[in-house]
Structure 1
Amino acid sequence: MSSDTSRRVPPDLAALLRKRKAEEELAAKPRFIPKKERERLAAEKRLKEEEERKQKEEAARSKNGSNTANGYTNGANGYHQNGDSYSSSSRPPQSIPTGPKAMRGHAVNGDDDRSNVVDRNDRRDDRRDDRRDDRRGGNKRGPENGHDDDRKAKMEKADEAELRARYMGPAVNQSTFSAKKKRKRTAATKFNFDWDPEDDTSRPFDPIYASRQQPLTGLSLSEMTPEQARQRAEVIRRSDPETGEERAWQFVEQYERVKQHAERKNLGKHWSEKKLEDMKERDWRIFKENFGIATKGGAIPNPMRSWQESNLPRRLLDIVADVGYDEPTPIQRAAIPIALQARDLIGVAVTGSGKTAAFLLPLLVYISDLPPLAEFNKNDGPYALILAPTRELVQQIESEARKFAGPLGFTVVSIVGGHSLEEQAFALRNGAEIIVATPGRLVDCLERRLLVFSQCCYVIMDEADRMIDQGFEEPLTKILDAMPVTNEKPDTEDAENPLLMSRYVGGKDRYRQTMMYTATMPPLVEKIAKKYLRRPAIVTIGNAGEAVDTVEQRVEFVSGEDKRKKRLQEILNSGQFKPPIIVFVNIKRNCDMVARDIKGMGFSAVTLHGSKTQEQREAALASLRSGQTDILVATDLAGRGIDVPDVSLVVNFNMAMSIESYTHRIGRTGRAGKSGVAITFLGNEDNDVLYDLRQIISKSSISKVPEELRRHEAAQSKPTRGGSKKTDEGGGGGGFGGKGGQW
């Protein structure tokens, strides 16, 4: 019995496997290393590398020292140096060449060996001088380190190219066109129509032409220059010997009176030639008409004519200049002066009009007057909140905000779906002055107590109509109801008084300022504006819901998928449009099909739709913006807020389900004052939007309504049945759910 009890029990194999698996999983998890620990490890690594480098130098120095000793021994046997030449008494049998070093390779009769000896001695002397400089503190960086840096840079560049090829695929269809080479090829055969200066037969220094005077008849006094008035007075004096002198003086006096009157009234001058204090009501009316600005609401300030007249702080104006904003856009001219007066604002402007900077700059001025975030208030929430309907638009606003907020020392954090809540909570650990978020994910953070709005005093809703279309009305209401009520503006005329609204409510709190930017004003948006905005000023740029005049709209009746693909190939192969190009479809499964066909045509293409992960969406947009990909095939997910520079062509492979979605689709081109083209394929399934399409094309100054659309039966009257069809993307962008933009 005792032997049985003392026998060792064999280990449980299943328990060992579970333990080993748990250890492997624990080792595979990324370990959070504090900042101080990372700095300590980096310092140890640098110290270790420095010691290894010194050991290598010592080894090389000892090796060079032994070689130098051997060289001096040879010198003792027969090379006695005297000044800059060797003495003839100890000269070896072969003569040492006295010509340049470049000629030593051509020596004869044994001179090669002696030249090599001298070269080696010279190199040893140079190394000995370098070591002496190192001991004295000089020459810290040797040529070996420079070669190592170059080799390291080449290796990093190769690794970057390998990673890009691995994740983004090989670069295809890269143009090898060179305008310089083409000019060289055609220069010899091209006929030159320019005028040869040697063939000029005119005589510009002819005295007859030099003394010729300009005719003075037909000019009014206000149009004459002082020199022309003097010449006219001289003509009057010469033409009448008796009374010419008196008439000339009367003419000069009359000219002076007219000039003084014109300068006093500034008549005949354009508003751009006047000073700000000389601007009259008529000038401001012309200014607004030139930029298509319409305002509504009490006590609205005049627009700004330039950045220098914007009343923005000098430091912020320097940042604007560094970013590259030369001239303000119409919405920026009208909205910034209003927002600087702490007024609530509704901005109605077409897509691509510069709305982001219009609300960011006044926001930064507003929170600059608030106390900086510290330990006692960093957990009370942000000072400003920006809401947008899509993840891509949120990230675009975040990138733009960091350009202005970073130099001022403000923190900007985005909260969107597709990223873990723990990661976003970690980004908020030190507080943030500005938060950019989608409504659904922000509601999740509020419900989980990851965020509060105890001190939020600035709220911006961008693309408000799109948020309502996507079903974000309820999350939007929850967010606005979570704001503090102690700093709400009164719903009286005091809300239009900038002096009262700029004061502090109590302590460090200021009145909450709410701004809403939208492209259209549906009833639900008006309802939210009426509930949460106090006596807002309304700024409209152009006509709400209309396309910009920089986009040429073309429509073609092409029925059937095969015919449309064939027509799309003809358009892409025509060479009229340079990448990037965006192709819009209505449903997600068509995205991959059309992209596959485009790749078969020889073009590179990426897709963007609701089934893509956040990383895939960001990678697709990054490849299009960087020029690695030519064409983006997308649903209405890319219809709003996505800013891809220099898009030359937008193709609606499927017509949008609503005219609002169509407007935002074609707004991806023709941005920032540049021109663009939008081509739309139509079929029998698009009868419900043909009337609105005809109306919006007819209002464009550069587009022409085709005869087939003009005569189409469905384009003669607006359809009576309400609502449009919904796709799996939600009828041109809706139906993506109300949770953090999960679309």
Structure 2
Amino acid sequence: MTIESLACAAQADSAAASSPPAAPARFDTLPLDAKLLRAVADQGYAFMTPIQAKAIPVVLAGRDVMGAAQTGTGKTAAFSIPLLQKMMRHENASASPARHPVRALVLAPTRELADQVANNVKAYAKHSNLRVAVVFGGVDMKPQAAELKGGVEVLIATPGRLLDHIEAKNCVLNQVEYVVLDEADRMLDIGFLPDLQRILSYLPQGNRQTLLFSATFSPEIKKLAGSYLQNPELVEVARPNATATNVEQVFLSVSEDDKRRVIVKQLRERNIPQAIVFVNSKLGAARLARSFERDNLRTAALHGDKSQDERLKSLAAFKAGEVDVLVATDVAARGIDIADLPAVFNFDVPFNAEDYVHRIGRTGRAGASGVAITLVTHEDARLIGEVEKLIKKKIELQAVELDDDRPRRNTWRRREDEDERPYDAAAGTSYASPPPPRSSGPRRSSYSPRDPFFDQPYVPQASNAPAAWENTDPVVPTPSHARMSPNIRPKRKLAALLGGGPKA
């Protein structure tokens, strides 16, 4: 290579480095129907997110897509807007249900996520005649069945409830042209693979476009994509399983007993108005919510033991700002979309490392900043190691100091000269400054009062009665009828049938 060519290459590289980054693409540059563009503008969207800019043209081209993007980056719009555009050719104002068959099916793992997706799709289709419906468990099937029988083009559903409607003949899926698996990794985690296979068996086996979107891609997901997607195009805007760069991740080393106090301190020191606290168990969520209420925090719990109506009311109150802290299990990690949520707390490190990515994805959505604080104990070493492997980032634990203003457990110890001290009968013990005994419940202190009875010498009884083992009186057997209960009547002696009495 000559000196001139090297100089030209260097100038080209410097020009490329100095050139400003490409401006984000606008929605009005897409070949979309005017009704969809109007709905998008009503939502306040002008520029597409990276996943939308890459996925929408591919979906419009009719290709199967395997999309990987961080949570909160607009995956719902990435698949719903192009699908609505492709279904605009079927749009009609007819009242006949036969003119509105199900053409697009969106499957979601949780009720909250299905409801969230349905709200977004309804907002995008509000200026068109395309009908959108959502079905999920925990609520009455009759209103859902009536809506399905009236005809819908886009159906969002959880797998279990959809199978219930299929078996009840409430919906027919023989004209489905588009299938979307949203957060498919979660559906596999909670055992929905048999249900997915059953649902897909009801769909037409011809030319069908399938889209798969998720923030994390496990080997099972790739295997599923190979089974149901035809030559899919991988669309990703970040490394798979990566966390959002605009979320500050903090890991605090704490003890199990101090977790709640640490969260309260962080809320006050960081001036956090609202936060979601994730726990691993339903019972733990209920207990922690009651504890936060005693700390004068407006709290709501969200877990699987609550009815769907209660869960929706808790989410609505949290979105309206009526709740300060929402304590939730992983049922909410995939279905909460709250704008400008400032913080997320991991009260428990998740058992599944991929759930960590989805948990912290509840904050820092749509380009906003957020903080994710994880409380780590000594028992969480293995789980933290799995999170490190997933996010490919070294985790540094930070120490946290708490004001020592709470009563500690008793750690009273015996004095070394205890045996040399006289017994204090009034105090009932020879321990140094013993604490007062608790009124009830097991004692968790190492202090244990001594019983004065065991300090007294043996004194024989004054009675001259012989001991039980020295009794020489003959033992008289007790008649059997005397040992019988007074409620049992003795048997009557009857004469023989032949001969009258006993033989002589």
Measured against the shorter chain, the TM-score band is: 0.7 to 0.9
Q: In the TM superposition, what are the counterparts of 1:636-647 in structure 2 within 5 Å? A: 636-647=330-341
| In structure 1, distance between residues paired with 2:388 and 2:218 | 21
Q: What residue in structure 2 maps to residue 567 of structure 1?
A: 262
2:311 aligned with 1:617? yes
| In structure 1, distance between residues paired with 2:170 and 2:392 | 51
Count of matched residue pairs: 390
* 343 and 384 in structure 1: CA distance in 2 versus 1, 3 angstrom threshold: same
In structure 2, what residue type is equivalent to 1:646? Answer: D
In structure 2, what residue type is equivalent to 1:557? Answer: S
- 2:179–2:211 Cα contact (<8 Å) kept: yes
| In structure 2, distance between residues paired with 1:524 and 1:479 | 18
* 380 and 329 in structure 1: CA distance in 2 versus 1, 3 angstrom threshold: closer
Compute the displacement of 1:271 (Å): 11
* 484 and 372 in structure 1: CA distance in 2 versus 1, 3 angstrom threshold: farther
Compute the displacement of 1:674 (Å): 0.8
- 1:340–1:362 Cα contact (<8 Å) kept: yes
Q: Secondary structure at the match of 1:677?
A: strand
* 517 and 432 in structure 1: CA distance in 2 versus 1, 3 angstrom threshold: same
In structure 1, what residue type is equivalent to 2:261? Answer: K
Compute the displacement of 1:365 (Å): 0.8
Q: What residue in structure 2 maps to residue 68 of structure 1?
A: none
Q: Secondary structure at the match of 1:407?
A: coil
Q: What residue in structure 2 maps to residue 357 of structure 1?
A: 77
In structure 1, what residue type is equivalent to 2:304? Answer: G
Query: CA deviation digits over 1:183-207, x for unaligned, max 9?
Result: xxxxxxxxxxxxxxxxxxxxxxxxx
Compute the displacement of 1:554 (Å): 0.8
* 270 and 513 in structure 1: CA distance in 2 versus 1, 3 angstrom threshold: farther
Compute the displacement of 1:552 (Å): 0.8
Q: What residue in structure 2 maps to residue 434 of structure 1?
A: 154
| In structure 2, distance between residues paired with 1:551 and 1:313 | 35
Compute the displacement of 1:332 (Å): 0.2
* 698 and 515 in structure 1: CA distance in 2 versus 1, 3 angstrom threshold: closer
Q: In the TM superposition, what are the counterparts of 1:255-404 in structure 2 within 5 Å? A: 268=15, 305-370=25-90, 372=92, 374=94, 378=98, 381-404=101-124
In structure 2, what residue type is equivalent to 1:666? Answer: I
In structure 2, what residue type is equivalent to 1:364? Answer: L
Q: Secondary structure at the match of 2:40?
A: helix
In structure 2, what residue type is equivalent to 1:653? Answer: F
* 583 and 626 in structure 1: CA distance in 2 versus 1, 3 angstrom threshold: same
Compute the displacement of 1:675 (Å): 0.8
Q: Secondary structure at the match of 2:122?
A: helix
Q: Secondary structure at the match of 1:583?
A: strand
Compute the displacement of 1:693 (Å): 3.1
Gaps in structure 1 of 5+ consecutive residues = 1-261, 274-285, 291-303, 489-511, 709-743
- TM-score, structure 2 as length reference: 0.73
Which of 653, 657, 667 is equivalent to 2:361? 667
Which of 179, 192, 211 is equivalent to 1:515? 211
| In structure 2, distance between residues paired with 1:312 and 1:412 | 19
Q: In the TM superposition, what are the counterparts of 1:598-617 in structure 2 within 5 Å? A: 598-617=292-311
Which of 227, 240, 243 is equivalent to 1:547? 243
Q: What residue in structure 2 maps to residue 35 of structure 1?
A: none
In structure 2, what residue type is equivalent to 1:603? Answer: L
Compute the displacement of 1:429 (Å): 2.8
Which of 684, 692, 708 is equivalent to 2:386? 692
| In structure 2, distance between residues paired with 1:315 and 1:269 | 39
2:396 aligned with 1:705? yes
In structure 2, what residue type is equivalent to 1:565? Answer: R
| In structure 1, distance between residues paired with 2:96 and 2:342 | 51
In structure 2, what residue type is equivalent to 1:627? Answer: G
Which of 182, 192, 202 is equivalent to 1:462? 182
Compute the displacement of 1:432 (Å): 0.6
| In structure 1, distance between residues paired with 2:92 and 2:176 | 13
* 376 and 601 in structure 1: CA distance in 2 versus 1, 3 angstrom threshold: closer
* 391 and 563 in structure 1: CA distance in 2 versus 1, 3 angstrom threshold: same
Q: What residue in structure 2 maps to residue 410 of structure 1?
A: 130
In structure 2, what residue type is equivalent to 1:553? Answer: Q
| In structure 1, distance between residues paired with 2:95 and 2:289 | 51
Query: CA deviation digits over 1:301-322, x for unaligned, max 9?
Result: xxx8322332223332222112
* 371 and 604 in structure 1: CA distance in 2 versus 1, 3 angstrom threshold: closer
In structure 1, what residue type is equivalent to 2:370? Answer: G
Compute the displacement of 1:374 (Å): 4.4
Compute the displacement of 1:684 (Å): 2.6
- 1:380–1:453 Cα contact (<8 Å) kept: no
Query: CA deviation digits over 1:489-523, x for unaligned, max 9?
Result: xxxxxxxxxxxxxxxxxxxxxxx211111122223
Q: What residue in structure 1 maps to residue 223 of structure 2?
A: 527
| In structure 2, distance between residues paired with 1:271 and 1:447 | 62
In structure 1, what residue type is equivalent to 2:227? Answer: K
Q: Secondary structure at the match of 2:149?
A: coil
Compute the displacement of 1:695 (Å): 4.7
* 626 and 656 in structure 1: CA distance in 2 versus 1, 3 angstrom threshold: same
Q: In the TM superposition, what are the counterparts of 1:72-83 in structure 2 within 5 Å? A: none
Query: CA deviation digits over 1:687-728, x for unaligned, max 9?
Result: 22222334566649xxx72478xxxxxxxxxxxxxxxxxxxx
* 482 and 655 in structure 1: CA distance in 2 versus 1, 3 angstrom threshold: same
- 2:280–2:348 Cα contact (<8 Å) kept: yes
- TM-score, structure 1 as length reference: 0.50
Higher helix share: 1
In structure 2, what residue type is equivalent to 1:363? Answer: L
Q: What residue in structure 1 maps to residue 291 of structure 2?
A: 597
Q: Secondary structure at the match of 2:127?
A: helix
- 1:650–1:679 Cα contact (<8 Å) kept: yes
2:372 aligned with 1:678? yes
Root mean square deviation, CA, Å: 2.6
Q: What residue in structure 1 maps to residue 322 of structure 2?
A: 628
In structure 2, what residue type is equivalent to 1:600? Answer: R
Q: What residue in structure 1 maps to residue 234 of structure 2?
A: 538
- 1:605–1:630 Cα contact (<8 Å) kept: yes
- 1:387–1:439 Cα contact (<8 Å) kept: yes
* 271 and 419 in structure 1: CA distance in 2 versus 1, 3 angstrom threshold: farther
Query: CA deviation digits over 1:583-609, x for unaligned, max 9?
Result: 111111111211111111111000000
| In structure 2, distance between residues paired with 1:604 and 1:338 | 45
Compute the displacement of 1:632 (Å): 0.2
Q: In the TM superposition, what are the counterparts of 1:27-106 in structure 2 within 5 Å? A: none
| In structure 2, distance between residues paired with 1:269 and 1:310 | 27
Q: In the TM superposition, what are the counterparts of 1:9-28 in structure 2 within 5 Å? A: none
Whose relative contact order is higher, 1 or 2, with alpha carbons under 8 Å and at least 6 apart?
2
Gaps in structure 2 of 5+ consecutive residues = 1-10, 400-504
| In structure 2, distance between residues paired with 1:418 and 1:533 | 31
Query: CA deviation digits over 1:117-141, x for unaligned, max 9?
Result: xxxxxxxxxxxxxxxxxxxxxxxxx
- 2:102–2:153 Cα contact (<8 Å) kept: yes
Larger Rg: 1
In structure 2, what residue type is equivalent to 1:559? Answer: S
Q: Secondary structure at the match of 1:672?
A: helix
- 1:363–1:458 Cα contact (<8 Å) kept: yes
| In structure 2, distance between residues paired with 1:482 and 1:327 | 38
* 429 and 694 in structure 1: CA distance in 2 versus 1, 3 angstrom threshold: closer
- 1:461–1:517 Cα contact (<8 Å) kept: yes
State, as a whole percentage, how many aligned pairs show the same letter: 39
In structure 2, what residue type is equivalent to 1:691? Answer: G
- 1:373–1:433 Cα contact (<8 Å) kept: no
Q: What residue in structure 2 maps to residue 443 of structure 1?
A: 163
- 1:636–1:665 Cα contact (<8 Å) kept: yes
Compute the displacement of 1:546 (Å): 1.5
- 1:547–1:696 Cα contact (<8 Å) kept: no
| In structure 1, distance between residues paired with 2:120 and 2:49 | 16
In structure 2, what residue type is equivalent to 1:568? Answer: I
